Structure 1
Amino acid sequence: MTAQSIPAAARTLPTEALADDDPGYDEEIPRGLRRTNRWRGVAGLTLLAIGLGLLLEQPAALLAGVFGVAFAAYGQIGAAPTPELDVERTIDVDEPAVGDEVPVTVTVTNEGEDTLTDLRLVDGVPDGLAVADGAPRGATALRPGSAVELTYEVVATRGAHAFDSLVAITRDVTGATERVVEVDAPDRIICTPELPADPPSFPLRAQTTRYTGRTTAEEGGDGVEFHATREYRPGDPLSRIDWRRTARTRDLTTVEYRRERAASVMLVVDARKAAYASHEPHAETSVDRCVDAARTVAASLLADGHSVGLTAVSPRACWITPGHGLEHRLAITTTLAEHESFARRPPEESTNVYGAGREIRGRIASDTQVVVFSPLIDDGGAQLAHRFDAHGHLTTVVSPDPCVTDTVGQQTATISRALRITQARHGGLPTIDWQREERLERALLRSNRRWSA
């Protein structure tokens, strides 16, 4: 078992207990067993004590040397026991809400016939969950039939989090050798944030399909907002005749309203490796904020009667064709929460932005609008949005800001991102700059004021 395969919590144990490249590692020792080099140098000190005892004719020194030889010999021929463990993990809440602290109890029972005099345990806490209280590791001695518990709490975050195997490390009584084993204990926590029930309004650009909705078209027809008047035509509804004007001019006049139609919208989340930016280790990433924004925008557009689809620019494929209805809403909710495209850890492979954009354009209708969610921390996200718009898909950008300005490099990245936003706006792309520590609703309100000014 390599150090890379051991859960992160185990890496807080002494390095000698985990490193396969330890210079004292003996290739002839059976797999899973290794020397700790804890008593390295004992043999030399023992020989020194025996030599001094003989030279100075000191029985005490000679006796100490004899005991040292015996102890060193035991360390060479002894071996850490192989544990036979039963592991039961209890999770109080399997499907918590985001931010909930979830208690976890791990019960480890010694089902073997040997007493484990030095047993170290490390539970396989998923990388996406932070430990809020307690500790997922411990050290104890365990008699046959006895059990020990590890109790701790984790903070729930979006996604499906699978627990790794529990790692058990045993040592012999001298600590000279140790054995590392994994004990399977499959469990997981699923955290699926719902789409907001009362989302803020999201401003789409004027693009229409034949279905009724709330995106305005630059033509008259049925609706609620006044558009124009025209001469009466046979068959016009009496309710749309402007009777006041008719009484004044004695000419029948029909009122036309600005027609409202539904849009087909594809939400495109920039989930490339380069988009996983964060202002500090283990903090929320830009992709996390993009997913949060996509969830809010999807809820807003579905509530307005639009057809909404979802995809990701990522080596991990994800696709939901634009649609509407309760089942479609559930599919978007589940995908944003659990799909591997939006995992908390970035993909290992890079993504060809040009190829990904071309593939998406080839799968959506010509009149489909696009909303791109990207931190715009490199040219890839900006190019993606510009190409969608250049190919006739009215495009809006939502950009969570991951930047800080503590160092010169960070200041440079902040300026570069600001330039990309300015270029996008000058190129006709409405761009919502969502600042850190700011609610998305406020960012949308600022943008609405900017676009209506």
Structure 2
Amino acid sequence: MNRITFLGVLVWGGLLLGLGLLNGLLLTLLIPLVVYILAGLFFSPAEPQFQISRLVNTDRASPGEEVSIQLSLRNNGTDQEDLHLTSFLPDGLKALEGEKEYALFLPRDKTIEIDHTVTGARGYYGLPDITVTSRDPFDLFQRQTRVPAPGRVFFIPQTPPLKRIAIRPNRTRTFSGQVPARIGGPGVEFFGLREYQTGDSLRWIDWNTTARHSNILFTKIFEQERVVDVGLILDARFRVNVKYADQSLFEHGVMATASLAETFLRTGNRVGLLLYGSLLDWTYPAYGKVQRERIMRSLARATLGNSLVFGSMENLPTRLFPSNSQLVIISPLMDGDEGMLLGLRARGYQILVVSPNPISFERPLLEDNENVALAARIASVERGLLLNKLRQAGIFVMDWDVNTTFENAAHAALNNVPLWYQTAGLL
């Protein structure tokens, strides 16, 4: 029960009691309360007329980076002697400077500015409306309004620097790039020989081969390098991503996906992103810095989820990806996922699996006893059998121990791709 309701009940109760008992003294005691209520009513705040703007110094930042927010409030109405300003932060944002609630005096046609400094974990944060409450001097009456002050902040995932990743899909695009295309033409790497044709540069004549044949000249041809289509698939299923307290294996997958997208786009390839979890979040393939920003913002919004439809990889929408293109799947993997991956490989897709190891992630967080050690060994054997089945089908698997930084693990695994993967076109 608020104050004005309590006073109203008290006055009416005293009035009825005084009239019923014909007690003038009791009625006289009610006069100060009535005057108090009338004064509060007389000085009650008018309909508030505020103009609020919110200025964010940047709408994208790295996790843990400080972001400054300036709130500007202008009073276009009457003087506000007791004004309360409430600005709540969405879950995930942490205030480093500034308060959630302010009490202030704001005269007519005056503006006040309030500064905040916040930080947060990876994610997308839409800043809510501002709640403004004006009260009378006696704190009896109040008017509350919500004023929209649009603003947003993306905390995009970190992108550890990677060198060029060795991929060789069968299908390439027509534009020049850095991926060997298995087609003769302008290039750097030697590809083969053919008979000399009018217009060929004399500097490319292979004199050693020509010397073994009379009246025939042979010209060296080189392997063309072109851009390719790369489809990134991030597994956002809750059931396969281990979460312990405030630590999540999914964050490692998001970081790896961001780093891979950065590397592929930097080398001129066309890259698309599919988040596979409670729903499908599809970023259409494209090139360049604009596409990089689209992918980073999609990864910033990525969350874990459960779905009966997408509980397994059997319903992966393969038609989103061009045939014979390069697929990079970032997933801890679970039993039953190998069927879809083997099917993709049989359809001609070149597949690279980056698999954050859930066992190496969770083992240091658990107690050190015999039962936990035995469970870890059994899980490691099962995981090893699953990964070996994929490797035998020609799928290159990077088993990533998340206790090692991704750039170091990728440098060791993806810069030393087995030769038979490259020559057979399996990667």
TM-score category, normalised to shorter length: 0.5 to 0.7
Tell me, in whole angstroms, the C-alpha distance in 1 between the residues paired with 2:99 and 2:179: 53
Residue of 375, 398, 410 corresponding to 1:444:
410
Q: Secondary structure at the match of 1:442?
A: helix
Q: Which amino acid aligns with 1:125?
A: L
Q: Secondary structure at the match of 1:107?
A: strand
Q: Secondary structure at the match of 1:353?
A: coil
What residue is the counterpart of 1:329 in the other structure? Answer: 288
Cα 1:240–1:436, aligned 2, differ >3 Å: closer, same or farther? same
* Aligned positions of 1:114-153 closer than 5 A: 115-117=80-82, 119-127=83-91, 129-140=93-104, 148-153=112-117
Deviation at 1:92, TM superposition (A): 3.4
Aligned partners of 2:390 and 2:397 also within 8 Å: no
Q: Which amino acid aligns with 2:297?
A: E
User: Is it true that 1:424 corresponds to 2:387 in the alignment?
Assistant: yes
Number of residue pairs matched?
382
Q: Secondary structure at the match of 2:410?
A: helix
Aligned partners of 2:265 and 2:292 also within 8 Å: no
Aligned partners of 2:196 and 2:205 also within 8 Å: no
Q: Which amino acid aligns with 1:360?
A: P
Tell me, in whole angstroms, the C-alpha distance in 1 between the residues paired with 2:376 and 2:357: 11
Tell me, in whole angstroms, the C-alpha distance in 1 between the residues paired with 2:351 and 2:402: 23
User: Is it true that 1:310 corresponds to 2:273 in the alignment?
Assistant: yes
Residue of 90, 93, 96 corresponding to 2:55:
90
Structure 1: tracts of 5 or more residues without a match: 1-23, 25-34, 48-61
What residue is the counterpart of 1:366 in the other structure? Answer: 323
Tell me, in whole angstroms, the C-alpha distance in 2 between the residues paired with 1:202 and 1:343: 24
* Aligned positions of 1:237-252 closer than 5 A: 239=204, 241=206, 243=208, 246=211
Tell me, in whole angstroms, the C-alpha distance in 2 between the residues paired with 1:271 and 1:162: 22
Tell me, in whole angstroms, the C-alpha distance in 1 between the residues paired with 2:44 and 2:337: 54
Cα 1:147–1:415, aligned 2, differ >3 Å: closer, same or farther? farther
What residue is the counterpart of 2:284 in the other structure? Answer: 320
Aligned partners of 1:222 and 1:259 also within 8 Å: yes
Tell me, in whole angstroms, the C-alpha distance in 2 between the residues paired with 1:390 and 1:96: 41
* Aligned positions of 1:335-346 closer than 5 A: 335-339=294-298, 342-344=299-301, 346=303
Q: Which amino acid aligns with 1:399?
A: S
Cα 1:170–1:358, aligned 2, differ >3 Å: closer, same or farther? same
Residue of 105, 119, 143 corresponding to 1:155:
119
Aligned partners of 1:370 and 1:388 also within 8 Å: no
Tell me, in whole angstroms, the C-alpha distance in 2 between the residues paired with 1:140 and 1:348: 43
Deviations 1:289-309 (A, max 9, x none): 444433432343345454433
Structure 2: tracts of 5 or more residues without a match: 15-24, 420-427
Deviation at 1:441, TM superposition (A): 1.7
What residue is the counterpart of 2:351 in the other structure? Answer: 395
Deviation at 1:160, TM superposition (A): 6.0
Scaled by the length of structure 2, what TM-score is found?
A: 0.65
Q: Which amino acid aligns with 2:86?
A: V
Aligned partners of 1:273 and 1:348 also within 8 Å: yes
Aligned partners of 1:275 and 1:287 also within 8 Å: no
Cα 1:267–1:96, aligned 2, differ >3 Å: closer, same or farther? closer
Cα 1:127–1:225, aligned 2, differ >3 Å: closer, same or farther? same
Cα 1:336–1:141, aligned 2, differ >3 Å: closer, same or farther? same
Tell me, in whole angstroms, the C-alpha distance in 2 between the residues paired with 1:345 and 1:120: 36
What residue is the counterpart of 1:294 in the other structure? Answer: 257
Deviation at 1:393, TM superposition (A): 1.6
Q: Secondary structure at the match of 2:166?
A: coil
